[in-house]
Amino acid sequence: MAKLTEEQRRQRAAKRAQRAALDAEAEDQRRRERDGLWKREGTRLTWAEYVAGEPCRGCGSPMRDDLGSWPPLMKMSESEKREYDEADRRFRERHTDCRAARWSVDGSRVTHCCFCCPPPPLSAKQIEGIAKIFASMPSREERKKDLDTWDLTLRCEHVVPYIQHRDNAYVSARVVDCPDCGERRGVVSSERVGPAYSDDGTIREHAAADRERLGQELAAAEAKLARQRKNAAATQRRITELQERLGNGS
């Protein structure tokens, strides 16, 4: 088998990235439609309903069974292993096409699907704890200092900015809103640009604008070069003609 050239490898990588972006768009749409269904049908439980023992409205199973968490596989008895394997088999049968992970409540052996089943609601204590965490965070102006802008190239070939904390080594978002298309588009590639905000706290000019300007300048320069080459070719033909006439003594 012939070895691929660098250009062929680049083209294959680009096609893989495009396919991955398209798959991400399809999955994003699937989950958005599910979230809309949950909202219309009131699938999520309130805390009061959860405490009262209401079953999961996604799959119909109890949200929890209070049987205690499963012990580690190495410490299961033979009967527990059979029970665990049977529960796993039933779960796989019910959620064959969900393509999602699982979740369960601490102290319970009931397993729920991350696609079909909304997670349990937060308690008042949990909400209070989250509020305290947000209250202790640095101010918005202080957080700006630690934010970087990334350029995301989308499946539609538009480039959009994406801001996130500097500690992130890559962009985990697979689908984002494209303001040019007005649609959700899959991310093909990403490139860190640099600090998102200037020292005065204003957002820096998006690098895509610079690229667009440079692209326009490049196109103008290429057009100028094409005209110059055309003129040079005409001049060369005239020189050749004159040389031939001189050589013929005309």
What is the pLDDT at residue 207? 52
Least Cα distance to 184 among 195, 192, 173, 193 occurs for 173
Could you count the other beta carbons within 10 Å of the beta carbon of residue 199? Answer: 7
Tokens matching residue 175: 């689908």
pLDDT tens sequence across 141-196 = 888 899 999 999 999 999 999 999 999 999 999 999 999 999 999 999 999 999 98
Does residue 217 carry a pLDDT above 80?
Answer: no
CB-CB contact of 187 with 173 (8 Å): yes
Q: What is the pTM of this model?
A: 0.72
**Token digits of residue 242:** 């004159």
> Which of 127-131, 133-137, 165-169, 196-200 shows the lowest per-residue confidence on average (mean pLDDT)?
196-200
> What pLDDT is recorded for position 152?
95
- Average pLDDT of the residues in 220-225: 82
* Distance from C-alpha of 152 to C-alpha of 171, rounded to nearest angstrom: 9
User: To the nearest whole percent, how much of the chain has pLDDT over 70?
Assistant: 94
Q: What is the pLDDT of residue 239?
A: 81
> In this model, does residue 226 exceed pLDDT 80?
yes
Share of the chain above pLDDT 90, in %: 70
DSSP state letter for 174: S
Question: What's the confidence (pLDDT) of residue 248?
Answer: 74
User: Could you report the per-residue pLDDT of 76-102, keeping only the tens digit for each?
Assistant: 999 999 999 999 999 999 999 999 999
Can you give the length of the chain in residues?
250
pLDDT of 123 reads 94
Q: In angstroms, what CA-CA distances link 23 with 19, 26, 114, 156, 216?
A: 6, 5, 19, 14, 33
Quote the pLDDT of residue 178.
Answer: 94
